[in-house]
Amino acid sequence: MKIAVFSTKSYDQEYFENYSIDSRYTFSFFETALNKDTASLTNGFDAVCIFVNDRVDKNTIKILSKNGIRLIALRCAGFNNVDIEAAKSNNIKVVRVPAYSPEAVAEHAVALILTLNRKTHKAYNRVREGNFSLKNLIGFNLYGKTIGVIGTGQIGATFCRIIKGFGCKIIAFDVSKSDELVQQGVEYLSLDEVFQQCDILSLHCPLNASTKHIVNEKSIALMKDGVMIINTSRGALINTADVITGLTSKKIGYLGIDVYEQEEKLFFEDLSESIIEDDLILKLISFPNVLITSHQAYFTKEAMDEITTTTLQNIEAFDKNLELKNEVV
C-alpha cells in the first residue's frame, strides 16, 4: 500500500520512519500542502495522509478519486478541512486521530496565559540585554479569577483540571455537560453568561458552522474590559478583524493564539527573510499584549508518538478491512 504524506516536515518523516516497520506500507513525503493544485501528485498512490492546513475540498477529492485514492488519513483530530460528504460520494474513507495527548494542548494554553500575564518572554529579553527593571512587567494573580472554557471535550476537560489547581473559578459552555467536571466544581452556563463573567476565555471547541467566529464583535462587547482571550483550537473560531478592534479599544487586554484563520500561508514555515503579505497578522504582531505561537500546542514527544501510531493503526485497519474505529462519518 502506497501512502502520500502531505505537509510534512523533517520531524514528521522521522516519526513515521521510526514507527513504520511493516514493509507492506510505503510512504512518500511531500512538503507541499494537499489541495486541488497539488492533488495530481497522488497519482499511483492508494491513500493520502494529511494535516491541519491541507485543503481537501470537493474539487480536490474528485482528483483523488480519479487517481485511485481510497483513504484519507488525517494525522490530527479536526476534520473541518475535508469535505466529508464529497469523500463519501466518491467512496473514499476518512479517518483521524481523535485524541492525542490532550495534556499537550491544555498545558500550552496555560503557558500562554502565564506568559501573557507575567510577561516572562519580555523579562527574558530584558535580562539578556542587562536590563533588570520591573517597569511595565506587573501581572495579576490567577488565584480567584474566573476562567471561561468553551468546549469541554478531552482537551477542554484537561485544561479545566489544570487551571483548577491555580484556585480559579471555572465556568464553561458545551452542547453536552460533563458530569465529572460538574463534580469537580465546573459550572456550566449559557454561552453569553460565559462571555459576560469570565476574566480569561479559553477556546477548546471544534470548528463547525455554529462555532465559526464565535468570538466576534457581538460576543466581545459582552466581555469584561481587559479580558484575556486564548485560542489553541482552530483559527476561525475568532474573527480576527473584530479582535483587532477590541485590542485597539483596549476592550481586550490580552490575546494568546496558537492558531490563526489564515495560518496555512504562514505557519510551519521560516519566513524570516520574506515579506509577510498578511496585514492582519502583522497588525496582531505589533500589539505588545498579543502572544502568537505557530500551531505548536500539540508539539510534544508524547503527542507525536500518539499521532504517528494511531495514524499507522488507522491505515493498517483499512488495509486489512478491519473496523475503522476512528472513521469520520
Active site residues per annotation: 234, 263, 295
Q: 147 CB contacts (<8 Å, ≥6 apart)?
A: 163, 168, 169, 170, 171, 198, 199, 200, 201, 202
Query: What is the rounded distance in angstroms from the CA atom of residue 39 to the CA atom of residue 248?
Result: 41
Instruction: Of 210, 225, 227, give the one whose Cα is nearest residue 173.
Output: 210
- C-beta atoms surrounding 203 within 10 Å: 24
Pick the closest to residue 82 from 109, 67, 60 (CA basis).
60
CA 316, CA 327: separation in Å to the nearest integer? 13
Rounded CA gap, 45 and 68, in Å? 7
Angle at 284 between CA 294 and CA 298, to 5 degrees: 20
Taking CA atoms, 187 is separated from 183, 195, 203, 210, in Å, by 9, 14, 16, 22
Q: Report CA 130 to chain centroid distance, whole Å.
A: 36
Whether the CB-CB separation of 76 and 6 falls below 8 Å is answered with no
Alpha-carbon gap, residue 181 to 210, rounded angstroms: 23
How far is it, in rounded angstroms, from Cα 33 to Cα 53? 7
Q: How many CB atoms lie within 10 A of CB 186?
A: 23
Please state, in angstroms and rounded to a whole number, the distance separating the CA atoms of residues 100 and 13: 18
For 152, the grid coordinates are 469541554
Helix ranges (DSSP H) in 233-277: 240-248
